[in-house]
C-alpha cells in the first residue's frame, strides 16, 4: 500500500525556508502533526533528560536560518545521489560530544532545508538503532523521493522555495 506525504512550509527565516513532511491518511487528510512537529513534541519538555541538547539543536536551526544552510554546519549521514544543482543528502545536527540526539534533515540548498523527525541514537549505525532507526530510514526515503521528484521536475526548486511542478499553488505530495 502506498504511503502519501505532503511537503509543507514549516518556518521561514531570514535566509532559510524550512519545510517538513506530513503523512496523509487514506482520504488525503493530513495527520495532526508534521514530522518536525512530532520531534518538537517529543523533546520540548524541560524535565526531559535530553532537553539541553534539544534546545541547542533548536537554536542551531534558528541561527542557520539567519546565516544560511552552509555546508560546514552539518554532519553528513548517508549520501544520496549527488547532483551539482543541489545537495541531496540526509544531514543531521549533532551536538555536544556525548550527545546522541539527532534531528534529520535534507539540505536542498543554502536557502531550503526539509526537516524530518529524529531521536536518540543508542547504537552505532543509525539504521540499526531501535530508537532512531525508523526516523533515519524514513528520512532517507523522503530524501530519495524528493530527489527523484526534483529530477522529474515534479518539484521545482526556486531560489528559496519548493514548488509543485504541476501548478504553483498545488500541494506537493509524495507517493512513497
Partner 1 sequence: MKNPLFEKALNDVPNYIDLFARNSINIIDEINLALEFKGWTQKELAKSLNKSESEISKWLSGGHNLTLKTISKLEDVLDAKLITTISKSHSYYVENFEFCPNIGGQENDGSKWSKGAEQYCSLPIDPMLYNLNGDVDLDESSTNINNMEEYLAA
| Nearer to partner 1 among residue 24 and residue 55 (C-beta) | 55
Query: Taking the CB of residue 24, how many other CB atoms lie within 10 A of it?
Result: 17
Q: Whole-angstrom Cα distance, residue 107 to residue 64?
A: 11
User: Could you tell me the smallest distance in angstroms from the CB atom of residue 92 to partner 1?
Assistant: 9
Least separation in angstroms between residue 14's CB and partner 1 is 10
Residues 74 and 94: their CA atoms lie apart, in Å, by 8
Sites of contact with partner 1 (CB under 8 A): 9-12, 15, 36-37, 40-41, 44, 46, 52, 55-60, 62-64, 67-68, 70, 72-76, 93-97, 110-111
DSSP letter assigned to residue 53: H
Provide, rounded to whole angstroms, the least separation between the CB of residue 139 and partner 1. 17
Of 70 and 79, CB closest to partner 1: 70
Give the bridge partners for 5, in sequence order: 23, 174
Give the residue with the Cβ less far from partner 1, 56 or 137. Answer: 56
The minimum distance between CB 110 and partner 1, in angstroms, equals 6
* Cβ within 8 Å of residue 39, ≥6 positions away: 103, 115, 116, 117, 118, 119
Query: Phi-psi bin for 136: left (phi > 0), alpha (psi -120 to 50), beta?
Result: alpha
Nearer to partner 1, 26 or 125 (CB): 125
Amino acid at each position: 500500500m502506498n504511503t502519501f506525504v505532503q511537503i509543507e512550509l514549516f518556518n521561514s527565516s531570514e535566509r532559510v525556508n524550512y519545510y517538513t513532511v506530513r503523512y496523509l491518511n487514506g482520504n488525503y487528510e493530513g495527520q495532526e502533526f508534521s514530522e518536525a512537529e512530532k520531534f518538537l513534541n517529543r523533546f520540548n519538555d524541560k524535565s526531559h533528560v535530553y532537553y539541553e541538547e534539544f534546545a541547542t539543536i533548536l537554536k542551531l536551526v534558528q541561527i542557520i536560518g539567519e546565516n544560511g544552510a552552509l555546508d560546514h554546519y552539518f554532519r553528513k549521514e548517508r549520501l544520496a545521489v549527488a547532483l551539482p544543482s543541489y545537495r541531496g543528502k540526509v544531514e543531521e545536527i549533532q551536538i555536544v560530544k556525548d550527545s546522541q540526539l539527532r534531528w534529520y534533515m535534507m539540505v536542498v540548498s543554502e536557502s531550503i532545508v526539509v526537516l524530518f523527525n529524529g531521536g536518540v541514537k543508542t547504537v552505532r549505525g543509525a539504521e540499526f538503532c531501535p530508537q532512531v532507526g525508523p526516523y533515519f530510514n524514513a528520512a532517507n526515503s523522503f530524501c530519495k523521493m524528493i530527489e527523484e521528484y526534483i529530477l522529474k521536475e515534479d518539484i521545482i526548486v526556486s531560489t528559496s522555495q519548493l514548488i509543485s511542478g504541476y501548478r504553483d499553488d498545488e500541494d506537493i505530495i509524495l507517493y512513497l
